[in-house]
Structure 1
Amino acid sequence: MQRFANRTALVTGAGSGIGAIVARALAAQGARVAVVDVTAAGQATADAICEAGGEALYLQCDVQDSGAVENTVAATVARLGSLDIAVNNAAIDPETAPEAEWDESVMERVFAINVQGIFLCLKHEIAHMVEQGSGAIVNMASAAGLVGVMNKPAYTASKHAVLGLTKASALQYAARGVRINAVCPGAVDTPMLADNLPPGVDKTLIGANHPINRLATPEEVAEAILWLCSDAASYVVGHALTVDGGLTIQ
């Protein structure tokens, strides 16, 4: 099913994990995809899309840099024809310590990427979408944006902030044709999760904290994101779609 034929999507943090799966899924359903990542891993995602018969463009971008984000959006439109869908997924999760034990620079770096980065993406994506009169944006939040998470104060605060940005911008631009929503995954089996496990903790133990008794796959989260981007969600505005295996209803 070509849900996104003749549409252009931009996905940040698309070099690996959820972002890579989302980019490939959008392409498989007909979208032209700007694969955006701060590292060259994004090129591998773009190459995989093209090898599968899709159309993709790798753009290197640090979402902390407003000029770089503006140029990335402009390059997407110039080279792929439009900007109809944006998935703001780039984020970091470096903490495994309580507040009294971490360096305050961690908070600054997490907010620079997870919050300021999404703000800058929204700023430049919305400007183009308003001009064309339509668009769908999905911001990557987290179950940590709905509840507290021990040993991850900066990450938890950043994801609460993402939901605030999503709601405020959704209210501002819904009547101008731009739908803005967020997804809130629980723990997902990605390289970022593996890289940030506390010493001696197996990922199966993290999955066991969820009522469904396992981690999510990136594909499961991608399905929720694609739905929010699609015409099937045309009346969904400012929503935080929880994809967490029951974690936040305990």
Structure 2
Amino acid sequence: MKYFALLTFVAVQTVLLDAFAPTANTRQMSRSTAFPTASSVSRDSSSSQLMMSAGGVVITGAAGGVGFAYAGEFMDRGYDVVICDVKDCSAAANALTSSHPNGNVFHTKCDVSDSKAVESLGNFAKENLGTINYWINNAGVNGGRRALREVPVSQVELVVKVNLLGILLCTKVAMDIMADQAGVTGHIFNTVGSGVKGGGTPGYACYGATKRGLPQLTASLVDELDKGVQGYDKVETAGTIQVHSLSPGMVFTALLLEDSTPELRKFPFGVLAAQPEEVAAVLVPKILATTSNGGSVEFLTTDRILNKFFERFIMGKKSEYIDDDGNVIKMPGAEYDETGVRALY
């Protein structure tokens, strides 16, 4: 038992220090390079009229990974969803419509680091959803796993623009929309990752630095919304706005597996990482249950971490996804890319 207690303490401390690889869920080039386009895929109009929407959701970086999985979970609960990404999202929208017929999906492109593109995304969402209840800032890039001295300046700029400026721009647009939604509480969720708690992220210095800034942003906005800004009159809005943090943990996506080593894949990925569908199935109900401003929704809770370590190091349970040599275990019938990421559609 002393061995288990020591192992548990070390394991939890290691995880909480964010010493591992980035945990967001979009590819390195997950921002888009074009302005939103008014294209959509939805259920037959006659069936749509028979079912009232549970509300509207915007998810950035949702052409794949956990963003795509979030969309499916929201749609299963009757929500209408706008998805956007760097690439054309029509295939993703078709797949969501086919598998999740309880909600409508509308798709567009948006470079989250471009203010005009984000404003266009906001207008697109208002036109297609009417009311936006949830805005999930999920898009992110990692810039590759390399020492900072080896990262091109253009890549440094990209990571900061997408992960930090993109969050600020999207949050600003979402807040402006939600302020005018009379009688509605709008929730904005900003995705955090490695570095958020202040631990070092060697190989991902830019990524970690951008994620470290998000708790400060959330805390600032919570105080602004609840208390106002000292020296200025607090402006009352027709709609209520809340800002929260969202932590998907380690998700088997390109952002996690790209540039990884067998050692990293064996530990911690093989112990703590999960598939996008698993993460979304846990987090979406938590998102919907969040009612207090400044909430924090996490997949890798302390209980989950302890359970995973107990199963692996005490019970000897093997990983479902990584073999003993650090290779991705490929499921029969599934398609995988060169990094070992399974295609979701």
TM-score when normalising by structure 1: 0.85
Which whole-Å CA distance do the structure 2 matches of 1:29 and 1:214 have between them? Answer: 27
Q: Secondary structure at the match of 1:63?
A: coil
Which whole-Å CA distance do the structure 2 matches of 1:16 and 1:172 have between them? Answer: 34
Q: Secondary structure at the match of 2:144?
A: coil
Letter in 2 for 1:64: S
Which whole-Å CA distance do the structure 1 matches of 2:266 and 2:105 have between them? Answer: 33
- 1:183 counterpart (246, 253, 260): 246
**Corresponding position of 2:137:** 88
Instruction: Please tell me whether the aligned partners of residues 167 and 239 of structure 1 are also in contact (alpha carbons under 8 angstroms).
Output: no
Computing the radius of gyration from Cα coordinates, the structure with the larger value is 2
1:36 corresponds to 2:84: yes
User: What number of residue pairs does the alignment pair up?
Assistant: 239
Q: CA RMSD in A?
A: 2.6
Structure 1 residues not aligned, in runs of 5+: none
Encode CA deviations 1:8-57: one digit per residue, 9 max, x unaligned.
Answer: 000000001011111111111110000111211x2222112222313010
Matches within 5 A, 1:230-245: 230=288, 232-235=289-292, 237-244=293-300
TM-score when normalising by structure 2: 0.63
**Corresponding position of 1:50:** 97
Which whole-Å CA distance do the structure 2 matches of 1:167 and 1:85 have between them? Answer: 19
Higher alpha-carbon deviation: 182-191 or 69-78: 182-191
Matches within 5 A, 1:209-220: 209=268, 213-220=271-278
Q: Secondary structure at the match of 2:161?
A: helix
**Corresponding position of 2:189:** 138
**Corresponding position of 2:259:** 197
Q: Secondary structure at the match of 2:271?
A: coil
Structure 2 residues not aligned, in runs of 5+: 1-51, 228-236, 310-345
Q: Secondary structure at the match of 2:201?
A: coil
Q: Secondary structure at the match of 2:251?
A: coil
Encode CA deviations 1:180-219: one digit per residue, 9 max, x unaligned.
Answer: 111233321113323x224xx13x7335226x82312223
Runs of 4+ in 1 over 4 A off after TM superposition: 245-250
Which whole-Å CA distance do the structure 2 matches of 1:228 and 1:137 have between them? Answer: 13
Shift of 1:99: 2.5
Matches within 5 A, 1:21-32: 21-32=69-80
Matches within 5 A, 1:143-182: 143-146=194-197, 147-174=199-226, 177-182=240-245
Higher helix share: 1
Instruction: Please tell me whether the aligned partners of residues 216 and 244 of structure 1 are also in contact (alpha carbons under 8 angstroms).
Output: no
Which whole-Å CA distance do the structure 1 matches of 2:301 and 2:146 have between them? Answer: 25
Shift of 1:5: 4.3
